[in-house]
């Protein structure tokens, strides 16, 4: 006595369905892989005006999605590759501006503050030496 196994692949229609399923899966994986490769080569930058897509210098997944809303100059310096990509693509107007160069008056006032602080530290150190000598000689210094 023969036993027949009923399977989905037994007939032509079952084989066709299986081939179509494998082909569809292969196409879906290929599209997904191509999408990942495309994303790895782009910066998706969220700005105040909307989303900007610019090419990366190197293909990698890090730095793909970047939000530059509210960035300061220090953030741009830390993420220099995003800044370079935006400048190369012509979007430099979206980047934060560098801090202004200090004027001569700013430099002079900073130097004066430095001298004042150094003089205060030197005076405190000198007072500590005098206090130590007075206490060592038996006199009290307040």
Model confidence pLDDT, tens digit, residues 30-70? 999 999 999 899 999 999 889 999 999 888 888 889 999 98
Side-chain-side CA neighbours of residue 97 (13 Å): 4
CA–CA separation, 28 and 44 (whole Å): 23
Q: What would the pLDDT profile of 7-24 be if each residue is shown by its tens digit?
A: 545 567 778 888 999 999
Q: List all residues 6 or more positions away from 76 whose beta carbon is below 8 Å from its beta carbon.
A: 68, 82, 83, 95, 96
CA–CA separation, 35 and 42 (whole Å): 11
Q: List all residues 6 or more positions away from 47 whose beta carbon is below 8 Å from its beta carbon.
A: 68, 69, 91, 94
**Is residue 122 situated within a structural domain?**
yes
**Is residue 24 situated within a structural domain?**
no
CA–CA separation, 134 and 139 (whole Å): 5
Instruction: Look at the block and give the residue holding tokens 């229609």.
Output: 13
| Same domain, residue pair 89 and 71 | yes
pLDDT score for 105? 84
**Is residue 115 situated within a structural domain?**
yes
Domain boundary among 94, 114, 132: 94
CA–CA separation, 97 and 87 (whole Å): 13
pTM above 0.85, yes or no: no
pLDDT score for 67? 92
Strand partners, 66: 45
* 3-state helix vs strand vs coil in the chain, percent to 5: 55, 10, 35
Determine the structural domain holding residue 123 and report its residue range: 102-142
> Could you give the number of structural domains in the chain?
2
| Same domain, residue pair 88 and 120 | no
**Mean pLDDT of all residues in the chain?**
85
């Amino acid at each position: 006595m023969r036993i027949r196994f009923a399977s989905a692949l037994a007939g032509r229609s079952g084989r066709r369905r299986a081939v179509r399923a494998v082909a569809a899966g292969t196409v879906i994986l290929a599209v997904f892989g191509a999408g990942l490769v495309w994303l790895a080569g782009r910066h998706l930058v969220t700005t105040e005006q909307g989303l900007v897509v610019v090419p990366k210098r190197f293909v990698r997944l890090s730095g793909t999605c970047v939000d530059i809303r509210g960035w300061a100059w220090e953030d741009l310096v830390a993420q220099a590759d995003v800044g370079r990509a935006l400048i190369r693509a012509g979007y430099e107007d979206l980047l934060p501006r560098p801090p202004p160069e200090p004027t001569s008056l700013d430099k002079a006032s900073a130097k004066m503050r430095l001298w004042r602080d150094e003089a205060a530290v030197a005076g405190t150190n000198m007072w500590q030496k005098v206090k130590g000598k007075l206490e060592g000689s038996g006199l009290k210094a307040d």
